[in-house]
Amino acid sequence: MTDTCQITKPGEGEPVFDDESGTYTDPAPVEVYGPTIAPHFGKCRIPRRAGVLTSGSASSSGEVGWEVGEWPLDLPSVGSEDVSPGMVVDYLTAASDASLAGRQFTITEPSRQSQATARRFKVKEVIGT
Whether 95 is in a domain gets the answer yes
Closest CA to 77 of 34, 31, 43: 43
- Give the number of domains in the chain: 1
> Does residue 76 belong to any structural domain of this protein?
yes
Which tens digits make up the pLDDT trace of 116-126?
788 999 999 88
The verdict on residue 19 lying in a domain is no
Q: 24 and 66 in contact (C-beta within 8 Å)?
A: no
Distance CA(50)–CA(14), nearest Å, equals 40
40-92 tens-digit pLDDT: 789 999 987 655 555 454 445 566 666 778 889 999 988 888 999 999 999 99
Residue 47 in any domain: the answer is: yes
What residues make up the domain containing 45?
3-12+24-128
* Whole-number average pLDDT of the chain: 84
pTM of this structure = 0.80
**C-alpha–C-alpha distance, residues 121 and 108, integer Å:** 8
In a domain? residue 18: no
For residue 17, tell me if it sits in a domain.
no
Within a domain: 108: yes
In a domain, 55, yes or no: yes
